[in-house]
Amino acid sequence: MIAVLWIWLAWQAAPNNELLQHVKAGMAARQAGNLKEAVAEFRKVTELAPTLPAAFVNLGAVELQDRDYAEATKALQRALQLQPDLTGAEQLLGYSLLAQGYAADALPHLEKAGDPGALGIAQEETGHFPDAIQNLSKALEQHPGDPDLLYYLGRASGLLSKQNFDTLLATQPDSARAHLAEAENLAVLRRVPEAEKEFQAALRLRPDLPGAHLELGKLYQTASDWTQAEREFRAAAQLEPGDAEAAYRLGSALLEEGKPKEARVALDRSNSLLPKMPETLYSLGQAASMEGDAAAAEQAWNEQLAVEDHTPLAKKAHFGLATLYRKQGKTAEAAKQMEEYRETSHP
Amino acid sequence: MFKRWLLLFCASACAAAVFETVKPPGLDFLHQNSPTRQKYLVETMGGGVALLDYNNDGLLDVFLVNSGKIEDRPRAPETFARNDPRYWNRLFRQNPDGSFTDVTKQAGLAQAGEGNYGMGVAAADYDNDGYTDLFVTSLGKNVLYHNNGDGTFTDVTARAGVAGGGWSVSAGFFDYDNDGKLDLFVTRYMEWDTAHSKSCNEPIHMYCPPGEFPATTNLLYHNLGAGRFQDVSAKSGIAAIKGRALGVAFNDYDGDGFPDVFVANDGMEEFLFHNNGNGAFTEKALDAGVALSADGSPFSGMGVDFRDYDNDGRPDILVTDLARQTYALFHNEGHGTFQYQSLQAGLGAISSGSSGWGMRFEDFDNDGWKDLFVAQGHVMDNVEKVDPSLHWLEPPMLALNQHGHFERADAGFPTPVAGRGAAFGDINNDGWTDVLMSVLGGRPILFRNRGGTNHWLTITLRGTQSNRDGFGAIVKVNGQTQYAGAAGSYLSSSDKRVHFGLDQAAKADVEVQWPSGIDQKLTGVAVDRFLTIREPENKQ
């Protein structure tokens, strides 16, 4: 866009040789990376043609490139005074203001420019999280994997989430959901007794509160209290029989309690609800192995390895298979699995 | 009717704790670990304890290992001064009334260990003179005290050649070549000294994990007789592999007549040294299935026991470790292999949130099944700052064995402490096993067994062809199997008498398989008594 402006400027200034020389010198300096010199040349152009909007756009663009945002802002504002419909100038001015932290001031310019990425960032900075998420998502579709966009989208999502939880806690502090939100915050900090209290308060108000039993079970799991974890996961699985995670967690707790038979029932259910989950398949192998069902253990672990290999969980499956084959006297197979196990240990 | 219901209710809910904690007069000891701002790893590891009858009066006495003074000067070698009586190891003689008398000075054990930071203890009659000797491990030099038989001890380390060096931890006497003389195994943790310490996990300054320091070798000393030992660590193959060893226990896992060695390593594969019967050992933990947990993860092995918990006649292995790891129970499947059975045996539910050190399978309720007592507490004194759901201080764990499945029971002491060493024995000679647990930087706690109505039999072995203590003998009573010895646990040495709970059995059939190869059988033995079995001079 800037190059087009330069050409246009050169054409406009054709009758004026001095002006054209400064334009050319500015362009050359910019191409050579001498931004200070380019700024000086383009400034002379604005002095020679003080009513030419493109001259100010070019000056602002180079100043922006030189990270002199204050001067860039002045030049770009002047350009827009001279010609309010310059979309390129709106975009550059938005960038310049955003770079200086004037996100609110940048917003109208970026809206006019129609740049969803920069607009999303400005919206995130000004607390307009839903709009920011929408625009940043749109920008990411155009530039997949862009680290800046991913960062700001993540940040906006997190802040929106926090904003909603803050609203919940401020407006409905005694609701079951408020207690649940508080409990989850405390659980993240591993403050087990306080989190437990909040979970229980939530469940007192709404015994069937979706997610509460599951999260409370995870809290007990964190504290290695498997008996209570089992109770909560069982409640979660009963309330939400279609929830594969609840069934998986119940199976895992039962395994820790040394109840492989019951664990297999829960894990089989989880596997039927959400097949090919490596965690479920590994635990199924573990449960079968604990029950002495070598064939089922072998099948589950091989299924798991077919889904994913060379992961920490796959390493465990290789070790399980090696142990199983060693017990069966299958020395070569055991050695092969141990080799895989060791390779995963030392990638 | 109401009373009947009350009784039924109380049968489960009002069951009295197995132990009561007592403070016997005279057992006055405060462990000095000298915690520093530097957070030297050694200061969180100490606390050896031994139960032994040093004067053969039939009463168990107590030896407690002290650690030492650390000056806490940044980046300066420490001298571990032990002159101050606060830093002495202590020997307490038990009196007939159950009180104790500090006999450290008169026994010649005062001012010992100058320059060394004390760790553990092993007690046994290494010279077959009928008196129990003491071996004390340290960061620095280890010390062998010969029991002179007159209430005094003499430091014979130099003559015996067992000073070692580096950071020694648990030790144990056993007769690896069945020559009738007790040999000595010493675990060593890592290559470490205060000048080479590190700062870890900044900004929350914590004790460094063991992997931060180089691994090292263990020590094996062959008893040559006449009070001399030979370092056979290299020759035997024990030093062929480096580890980070904390605990050690012995048993003959494959029934070939030679004692094998299990070494609990911290944060790496465990070691199982198979005794080849020719003076050499081969490390076989991985092949035997005891190197790692069921999912192939290494764990922080600390204490260890090597006994048959499920009465199938084969010795199993239990290793205590850190919270989140579950105490590792390896069931002996026969044919030289083991299977990880922690979860099936109920240990997942009761141990995965705890960190364990000294422990032992012992039948505390005399019902014929070996129960489990574990001294507990995390290694990091500020672990709560990193994970508030973990605990530096924990109460000890008692789990009762219900036919091979462990269920938590009331240990009679709910107070959280930094438990470390634990020695097991019948301190008041009532037929019920007691526990003495050391506390890091604290006073030892005596768990006195409240007793009950079940029958019991406690056997003192008197070897003639075999070593005099009978260490390594396999003793079978009414379908139970015990391995004679004082080693195992962590840093500690237990009563060498062999104890059996007999439930309601009024008689006992006893078989002793001596290390010499002699088999001895006694039938219809009266119960509720202390029995001395002398090894026959010739094979029966």
As a whole number of angstroms, the distance between CA A258 and CA B347 comes to 8
Each residue of A166-180: pLDDT tens digit? 999 999 999 999 999
Average pLDDT of chain A is: 92
Give the strand pairing for B183-188 and B434-439.
unpaired
Structure tokens at B128: 């077959």
Structure tokens at B158: 């130099």
Q: B403 and chain A: CB distance < 8 Å anywhere?
A: no
Distance from the Cα of residue A67 to its chain's centroid: 29
User: B295, A286: Cβ pair inside 8 Å?
Assistant: yes
Nearest to B485 by CA among B239, B184, B197: B184
Each residue of B112-131: pLDDT tens digit? 778 899 999 999 999 999 99
Give the residue-averaged pLDDT of B368-388: 94
Residue B537's pLDDT band (cuts 50, 70, 90): confident
- Can you tell me whether residue A213 is helix, strand or coil? helix
Structure tokens at B221: 């000393």
Predicted confidence (pLDDT) at residue B169 exceeds the cutoff of 80: yes
Cβ B495 vs Cβ B486: under 8 Å: yes
User: A290, B296: Cβ pair inside 8 Å?
Assistant: no
Residue B44 CB partners (closer than 8 Å, separation 6+): B33, B35, B207, B379, B380, B381, B418, B440
In sequence order, the β-bridge partners of residue B184 are B173, B221
Q: Which of B339, B348, B387 lies nearest to residue A258, judging by beta carbons?
A: B348
Q: Where are the domains of chain A?
A: 1-114, 128-171, 173-275, 280-347
Hey, what CATH topology would domain A173-275 get?
A: 1.25.40
CA B268, B269, B275 angle in degrees (round to 5)? 140
Give residue for tokens 């029966």. B540
CATH homologous superfamily of domain A1-114?
Answer: Tetratricopeptide repeat domain (1.25.40.10)
As a whole number of angstroms, the distance between CA B456 and CA B527 comes to 6
Average pLDDT of chain B is: 94
Q: Which of B292, B344, B354 lies nearest to residue A258, judging by beta carbons?
A: B344
Give the residue-averaged pLDDT of A212-226: 94
Each residue of A295-336: pLDDT tens digit? 999 999 999 999 999 999 999 999 999 999 999 999 999 999
Structure tokens at B139: 């960061």
End-to-end CA distance of chain B: give it in Å, rounded: 59
Residue B500 pLDDT: 98
Residue A52 pLDDT: 92
Q: Which of A255, A323, A327 lies nearest to residue B343, judging by beta carbons?
A: A255
Each residue of B27-55: pLDDT tens digit? 999 999 999 888 899 999 999 999 999 99
Structure tokens at B486: 């004082």
Amino acid at B94: Q
List residues in chain A touching B: CB distance below 8 A.
Answer: 189-192, 222-227, 255-258, 260, 286, 289-290, 315-316, 318-320, 323, 326-327, 338, 341
Residue B197 pLDDT: 86
Q: B408 and chain A: CB distance < 8 Å anywhere?
A: no
Each residue of A191-215: pLDDT tens digit? 889 999 999 999 999 999 989 999 9
Nearest to A64 by CA among A45, A91, A86, A83: A91
Task: Give me the percent of chain A exceeding a pLDDT of 70.
Answer: 95
Residue A220 pLDDT: 94
* A contacts of B285 (beta carbons < 8 Å): none
Each residue of B465-524: pLDDT tens digit? 999 999 999 999 999 999 999 999 999 999 999 999 999 999 999 999 999 999 999 999
As a whole number of angstroms, the distance between CA B136 and CA B206 comes to 28
Question: How many alpha carbons lie under 13 Å from residue A290 in its C-beta half-sphere?
Answer: 27
As a whole number of angstroms, the distance between CA B393 and CA B385 comes to 13
- Can you tell me whether residue B283 is helix, strand or coil? strand
Give residue for tokens 């197979």. A333
Residue B205's pLDDT band (cuts 50, 70, 90): confident
Q: Quick one: A74 exposed, middle or buried, by C-beta within 10 A (0-12, 13-18, 19+)?
A: middle
Q: B346 and chain A: CB distance < 8 Å anywhere?
A: yes
H-assigned helices in B322-391: 347-351, 383-386
| Fold agreement (A173-275, A280-347) | yes
CATH homologous superfamily of domain A280-347?
Answer: Tetratricopeptide repeat domain (1.25.40.10)
As a whole number of angstroms, the distance between CA A152 and CA A121 comes to 6
- Can you tell me whether residue A278 is helix, strand or coil? helix
Each residue of B177-197: pLDDT tens digit? 999 999 999 999 999 988 888
Residue B15 pLDDT: 60
